[in-house]
A and B are shown apart, each in its own frame.
Chain A
Amino acid sequence: MRSLLQGKSGVGKAEYLKTHWQDELPVAEIKKSNEELAAMTGADAKWPRTALLSAIAVQEALATHKDSIQNLRTGFFSANTVGGMDLTEQVYKDFINDTIEPEFSNIVNHECGAVTELVAKHFGLNDFNTTISTACSSSANSIMMAAQMINNGMLDVAIAGGADSMSKFTLNGFNTLQILDKEPCQPFDNNRRGLNLGEGAGYVLLMSEKAMQQCGATAICVVSGYANANDAYHQTASSPDGIGNKMAMSHALKKAGLQPKDIDYINLHGTGTANNDSSEGKAVEAIFEGCIPKASSTKGFTGHTLGAAGGVEAVFSTLSIRDGVVFPNLRWATQMEDINWQVVTELQTGQDIRNVLSNSFGFGGNCSSLIFSKC
């Protein structure tokens, strides 16, 4: 939060990820070793880094309610895209060359679901755990499902969001797509060059009203709207007009029973790629015609944390409501030519933020929007 208020970006040179691209491609890395991360929650440093990051954020999300939710049906909805790839890629060569036996522990948690389960077990979350993987929209979808299950009375409490760590696999994959910025990224700038990858984890704690009473909890906001749509245009690119983006935003508004003018802040997906920001920008323009709310991408701070992004930005959306702040869209310099509105570039405080829309779009055409409303 302090970094967000001070405009301090996490983008810089990779120190812990060992890659050929260390000097060329900046990333938003958590500046701690796996051992240091593990020590923060009493986890095992041999876990995949994604699980270590996840555990820290889950611990924060549970905070004071760890004990009070004991007798309630609690779900853990965690998304990720990378699973245990950070470890697998270290031993894969040995494994296929038949020298694996001593290092099997490094691939045993390769699956995305394994990451969720390590963390669930660590915190004794046994009632319902699930893992969603829809690329960059993954953790927005876990929040959506958690809200649905609580609304349906299937659960009382949910910890929902996601995590993803840096891996050579992802960095090289995005690099082949030629959408990585060699400088710190400039989302929604006319001269943007691409995205920076980031790592992190973010979860929100959701409760039914009954559970809140039982725990003596007070809510900052509610998940009032959600929607998931598919662009059905291209496996990795967004349609020029953002068909899926528009559908996700308008369906979420409908679900929340809100009009476009009711939204006070949009936490944009805003990766910094030419394609995303243009499609998203036009989609926002179409949905919010004449009443464009304050909007910013926080990826200038965090980089694109992929499967964690929806969770991390849900936390930012919640903080925006709680503290009445709008976070700046870092490093913005030039107005985009193809849209007629502008992002917020300076921190705004003392705002009455009642409804926040958070966008998460990804590969496979997956588009998700969440709306958080002040209680």
Chain B
Amino acid sequence: MSGEFLLTKPDYSTHVLSCVEPEYKEYIPVMQLRRMSKIVRRGVVAAKTAMQNAGIEKPDALSIGTAYGCLQDTESFLGKMIEQEEQMLTPTAFIQSTHNTVGGQIALLAGCNGHNLTYVHRGHSFEHAMINAALYLGEHPGENILVGGIDELTENSIKALQIAGLITKEHLATDDVINGSNDATVGGEGAAFFSVTQQPLSGRYIRIRALDIFKEYDEAAALQKVKRFADNHKDIEIDLFLSGRNGDKKYLQFYNSVRTEIYPLVADAQFKFCCGEYPVAGSFALAMLFECLEQKGCVPEFMELAHPTGEIKNVVLVNNFGSYYSCWLLELAV
């Protein structure tokens, strides 16, 4: 992340929040850039930025999560295949349509011969990539693994997600997403990468103390599972409850209950109004917490809904993408 992003409260009325595109030429040779679709460029730049911030030239391994994969290239090849009735097709879009394209490109550009996996398990894609990172580091202590979450929106995927009731058909304003009770929410997309190690590489880092994921259709049952997560870690004093609430009325009661029944007295912030809803939005939340580290452990004022506090150390992040839930216990080390 860079520039003005997250310095001020976003102000919009929209149905989707698209990525803020950096100046890609500064990161990728123009010849290679020309062939790259949006998701590949974003993934490569996010990966390079994470490596730069961690002071790593070449990661030892890669682990990536993406629910939808490379939609733009998939649609490009699919559209032409149908339109041209399987004739005169060219390979570029097909080559770049595979779900592991970004992982392959990062490996290629960084010269990384290590372990390289891509998880495509819907709303848990990023979390599974992180679990894989833990498994990898368990077997390769002392190494570093680059972990990322990437997903892109296309005109047609927005349409499909609107039919599925996930993305709003009407425009929503920022405060509708923060406080509203709507039939759906704003769609989102993004790329976020992290250099993950067992031992911290520098002074500022986020320690993942626990990660619990579960799939649940029933909100009351989901609440019970979050309670169990909280109980398992009740000896740790929580400074911030960061929630994935998104103004969709289907999950309002769940987040309200987590707040009032589990974390009633801690600071309460949310992030989806900054990035929109997408399957690997948990990676955005983690990236946002790194911004907080930059600001010496404080959450930007506009993100705190209640009980604002000064410095934060221990954070509980509860997120969901439909029936895919995740609970993270994170420690910010400034």
List residues of A whose CB falls within 8 A of some B CB: 19-21, 81, 85, 88-89, 92-93, 95-96, 100-101, 104, 107-108, 110-114, 116-117, 126, 129-135, 141, 145, 148-149, 152, 168-169, 172-173, 175-177, 227-236, 243-244, 247, 362-366
A131 to B132, CA, bound (A): 12
**Does B96 contact A235, Cβ atoms closer than 8 Å?**
yes
**Does A235 contact B135, Cβ atoms closer than 8 Å?**
no
**Does B122 contact A113, Cβ atoms closer than 8 Å?**
yes
Q: What is the total of A-B residue contacts with beta carbons within 8 Å?
A: 169
| The residue from A81, A116, A232, A243 contacting B108, defined by CB atoms under 8 A apart | A232
List residues of B whose CB falls within 8 A of some A CB: 62, 67-69, 74, 77-79, 81-82, 85-87, 89-91, 94-101, 103-105, 107-108, 110-122, 124-125, 128, 132, 135, 138-139, 156, 159-160, 163-164, 215
**Does A96 contact B79, Cβ atoms closer than 8 Å?**
yes
Return B208 CB to nearest CB of chain A, in Å: 16
Residues of A within 8 A of B95 (CB): 173, 177, 235-236, 363
A232-B118 in contact given A173-B91, A366-B100 (Cβ < 8 Å): no
A107 to B160, CA, bound (A): 8
Task: Tell which of A20, A107, A230 has the most Cβ of chain B within 10 Å.
Answer: A230
Residues of B within 8 A of A132 (CB): 117-120
| The residue from B68, B103, B135 contacting A111, defined by CB atoms under 8 A apart | B68
A85 to B194, CA, bound (A): 31
**Does B86 contact A176, Cβ atoms closer than 8 Å?**
no
Return A99 CB to nearest CB of chain B, in Å: 12
**Does A134 contact B117, Cβ atoms closer than 8 Å?**
yes
Q: Which 4 A-B pairs have the closest CB atoms?
A: A364-B104, A173-B94, A133-B99, A113-B122
A110 to B117, CA, bound (A): 21
Residues of B within 8 A of A232 (CB): 107-108, 110-113
A135 to B70, CA, bound (A): 13
A131-B119 in contact given A21-B86, A81-B98, A365-B104 (Cβ < 8 Å): yes
A42 to B96, CA, bound (A): 36
B127 to chain A: closest residue by CB: A130
A89 to B77, CA, bound (A): 11
Residues of B within 8 A of A114 (CB): 122
**Does B135 contact A134, Cβ atoms closer than 8 Å?**
no
A101 to B96, CA, bound (A): 29
| The residue from B97, B116, B125, B160 contacting A228, defined by CB atoms under 8 A apart | B116
**Does B98 contact A364, Cβ atoms closer than 8 Å?**
yes
Task: Tell which of A21, A168, A231, A366 has the most Cβ of chain B within 10 Å.
Answer: A366
A148-B99 in contact given A132-B119, A363-B104 (Cβ < 8 Å): no
Task: Tell which of B94, B111, B120, B138 has the most Cβ of chain A within 10 Å.
Answer: B120
- 6 sampled A-B residue pairs with Cβ under 8 A: A92-B82, A95-B156, A95-B159, A173-B97, A363-B98, A365-B107
